[in-house]
Structure 1
């Protein structure tokens, strides 16, 4: 049959491969009728997706330094934002910029980890990916939810992914604001998407297309209090990293050209030397029986009116003119932007009732002791926010947990 090798042809091909080891017959010599078959070496030499050698010429050292400087400024803003979220000291060190591929990331980073993809929607057109270790995400999200950062048992769930996405949204939003200042135009991002990956069995093209080739890897050393001492990675496509660097440099050069050269300040004219004021001559006969005048300040007080009088006469004194605000915009009470503090957690307490007991009764407390409260059965419970009484409600049962249905808001 056409395209099929006979047994003799297969034997001849195998014999040719054996003799090639001794140098008698080239291994790639085609067998009769087998010209359409590809050499076995071709399939072996094909590099895996995201692997292979890295071409270091794709990025010069000066370009790496410039990209690192931009990333350093951006992450400085992000560290400040993270501090406000976890209430722990956050330190992100100077970044290290290098070229990498998917295989390099797999071999040099702890698995599994959390990939957070951020897309620029305004001002810039590109994507970058943040990679955090699973333990670091558990610590940060526990701190965000009011814990002490030690509740890191178990696996990352939807709650942790949602919390870290919100944290990265605020952090990268602050970084976008820094970029806006650097390039003199608005920069905005889309909501980040967080995913837990083990990287070994994941196809990089399913995450982002640029991960299948060579990309820019920026590594930061991140410390959060005494709980996290780890590495944070940021991945950029090479073209986007270069575009970002060129945009920042072009904006910096244009701002320097637009700024007029500052004219040298004129040297101040030397002030005339003050003329010594002569003390008024007094008749000795008038001094008899009078106390001696003190020297120094009284003489200056006598001389000052004479010095100031000519200046006051030459001054143009007019009543102050103020702008009339009657027709201006009035800021109504309550119009502040409350959205800035909407993410601040507050402690909500439901109080069933209270009572006062002497110390002797409290010392007699034991399992089974019944304490009578100041509220009757069925009376609404009090809802307090950060200790302040804000509402009344009734106790309900939600599946296996207690809850409170608000029935009245206290003004």
Structure 2
């Protein structure tokens, strides 16, 4: 027996080393993946109308080429680019069966798909779902990063040939691969994968979860406060109502958009596409219930619908307090 390893044994050994990750790195990757997946799960659940949960299950390293080559079914790949406060390139890989299920549920179906063809309509449906899912994730990430996080245009494509695929990563580059389990109500679980660079994950983790040393450096030196003595006459007097009124008068000619909302309804994409002349839409308000009066999207009053000559109008029956109305206007106009 030879004391030397064959080339195949050497390749297998090197590959096992390259695919292994320290536990510390795995915990870091899992923390970032969870931040992305938790809001995305809730958003997907609202889109398909079923309780949904996506959670990381296994973390390895592989190249995009090896990942796609070893896949048992066709893969749909979505390239995601985050910028501004957080810099992260991410590929979301989904099996074709999961893409078809999500698209069918979005169109009002049962999720049981017989047609295995992933066409442009289904890819468009998936793109819309991913946009809403990632939008929810970015809101949480921006809050954690205490800054703006932007999402670039999504590139969603069905992978037919790994050799000719165009992606944000080099197909042979070693990437972190997070296998995730998607559990959906009244449906069997499915897998999807997040692929990204380890260095990018580390940078994001440092910004979202700064080390103790960095936190200490950010602390402000505390010392006893020293206050000057003021006579009662020098004490600052809070603005009087007349002063506030004078400042508010400067804004009286600012145009605002007033909308009277009769009611709302939640519909699937299929139901909207099926609307024709004469179709009825059931709203979430009862007959005779007051309608909402919104100013720039802010609720300020409620009232009942009346007819004035030949036009509709609204008679105000309930109104929020002047303070609440002022705050609503200030929030809307960024005052």
CA contact (8 A) 2:54 2:180 kept: yes
Structure 2 partner of 1:157: 119
Moved over 6 A (4+): 44-47, 259-262, 341-344
| Residues 111/180 of structure 1: CA separation in 2 closer, same or farther (3 Å cut) | same
**Corresponding position of 1:220:** 180
Match of 2:256 in 1: 332
RMSD across aligned C-alpha pairs, in angstroms? 4.1
Residue in 2 aligned with 1:180? 142
Q: Distance in 2 between the 1:72 and 1:254 partners?
A: 23
Q: State the partner residue of 2:155.
A: 193
- Within-5 A mapping of 1:101-120: 101-102=63-64, 104-106=66-68, 109-120=71-82
1:206 is paired with a residue whose SS is: coil
Distance 2:147 2:209 in 1: 13
In 1, distance between residues paired with 2:81 and 2:259? 32
- Which structure would you say has the larger RCO, counting Cα contacts within 8 Å and 6 or more residues apart? 2
Gaps of 5+ in 1: 1-40, 263-320, 351-381, 389-409
CA pair 258-112 structure 1, distance change in 2 beyond 3 A: same
Change (3 A) 1:252 1:117: farther
Q: Is the Cα contact below 8 Å between 2:65 and 2:162 reproduced in 1?
A: no
C-alpha contact (below 8 Å) 1:72/1:95 kept by paired residues = no
Q: TM-score, with normalisation over the residues of structure 1?
A: 0.52
Q: How many residues align?
A: 254
After TM superposition, the structure 1 stretch with the greater mean CA deviation from structure 2, 202-211 or 139-148, is 202-211
Instruction: Determine which of 233, 237, 242 is the counterpart of 2:202.
Output: 242
Q: Take 1:174 and 1:253, find their aligned partners in 2: how far apart are those partners?
A: 31
2:279 matched to which residue of 1?
Answer: 384
Q: Is the counterpart of residue 76 in structure 1 residue 38 in structure 2? A: yes
Separation (CA, whole Å) in 2 of partners of 1:81 and 1:256: 36
1:253, CA displacement in angstroms? Answer: 6.9
**How far did residue 261 of structure 1 move?**
10
Cα displacement string for residues 19-70 of structure 1 (whole angstroms, at most 9, x for unaligned residues): xxxxxxxxxxxxxxxxxxxxxx99x9998xxxx7254498532122112101
Indicate how the Cα distance of structure 1 residues 174 and 331 shifts in structure 2: closer, same or farther if over 3 A, else same: farther
**Cα distance between partner residues in 2 of 1:76 and 1:158:** 28
Partners of 1:212 and 1:143 lie apart in 2 by 35
Q: Is 1:137–2:95 an aligned residue pair?
A: no
Task: Report SS of the residue matched to 1:233.
Answer: strand
Q: Distance in 1 between matches of 2:197 and 2:48?
A: 30
Q: 1:204 to 1:223 in 2, by over 3 A?
A: farther
Partner of residue 131, structure 2: 169
Please give the alpha-carbon distance, in whole angstroms, between the structure 1 residues aligned to 2:105 and 2:213: 42
The alpha-carbon deviation at position 251 of structure 1 amounts to: 8.4
Shift in alpha-carbon separation, 1:168–1:161, aligned structure 2, 3 A: same
Partner-residue secondary structure (3-state), 1:88: coil
8 Å contact from structure 1 (residues 139, 152) kept in 2: no
Whole-Å separation in 1 of the counterparts to 2:90 and 2:102: 21
Change (3 A) 1:349 1:68: closer
1:197 and 1:136 map into 2 onto residues whose CA distance is 14
Q: Deviations over 1:82-104 (max 9, x none)?
A: 11111111011244322123465
5+ residue gaps, structure 2: 1-5, 223-239, 284-310, 313-335
Compute the TM-score of the two structures, normalised by the length of structure 2.
0.62
Q: Secondary structure at the match of 2:209?
A: helix
**What do the CA deviations read for 1:77-127 (whole angstroms, capped 9, x no partner)?**
101111111111101124432212346524653311211111123333342
Q: Based on CA coordinates, which of the two structures has the bigger radius of gyration?
A: 1
